[in-house]
Amino acid sequence: MAPNAVDYIAIQNTISRYCIALDTKNFDLLKQVFTEDVDTVYPFGGQRKGVQPIIDAISKRLSPVTHQHALTTQHIEIAADGKSAESTTYFTGIHFGKGKWDGKEVTAWGKYDDRLTLIEGKQSLPGASGQWFISRREVSFFGRLGEEGVMDGE
C-alpha cells in the first residue's frame, strides 16, 4: 500500500494531539497518540517503555505548571510500503509558574524525532490509510530559558 496525501495530515494530527493532550491535561488522550508499547527517550527521566508509564511521567512533570506547546518546522517521510513513517518536528513549550512561581516561566525549544506506525482498520481522518500512532519518540532540547524552579512547583 502506497502512502497518500491524507496520511501526511493524519500524521500531523497525531503529533498535534500530543500537544493538545498536554496543554488540556487530558493525559488519556495520549492513548490516541502512542502505541501501547511505545519506546521514548525524554531529557527528563530518560527512557520509558509503554504508554501508561509515559502518561504517569508527563502528568507528574507538568502538574505544577500551566503550559502551551507549539509545533513549528516539520518533516515527514512515509515509507514506500505506507505502513511506517519517520518525522522530525520542532517545538516550543512555555511553562508558566503557579503559587510562589506566579509570574515566572521557563521556555523550552527542541524537537521530537518520531517513528510512527500505521494501524489499519482504524481511521482517524477520512481518506487516511488508517490511524497513525507514535511507536518511538526521542525528545531533545536546543535550549531552555527562564526560571527552572517553576517546574518544581510550591
Q: Which three cell numbers stand for residue 42?
A: 525524554
Digit-coded pLDDT (tens) for 117-152: 999 887 778 889 999 999 999 999 999 999 999 998
CATH for 26? 3.10.450.50
What type of residue sits at position 29? L
Name the one residue in this structure whose C-alpha cell is 511521567: 57
DSSP assigned state of 59:
H
Q: What is the pLDDT of residue 107?
A: 98
C-alpha angle 47-45-85 in degrees, rounded to nearest 5: 40
Digit-coded pLDDT (tens) for 20-61: 999 999 999 999 999 999 999 999 878 999 999 999 999 999
Number of domains observed in the structure of the chain: 1
Beta strands at 46-49 and 66-78: parallel, antiparallel or unpaired: unpaired
Q: Say whether pLDDT at 110 is over 90.
A: yes
Q: Which domain holds residue 116?
A: 5-151
How many Cβ atoms from other residues are within 10 Å of residue 125's Cβ?
Answer: 17
Q: Which three cell numbers stand for residue 134?
A: 507514535
Q: How far apart are CA 56 and CA 3, in angstroms?
A: 33
- List all residues 6 or more positions away from 143 whose beta carbon is below 8 Å from its beta carbon: 108, 109
- Of 93, 77, 80, 86, nearest to 140 by C-alpha is 93
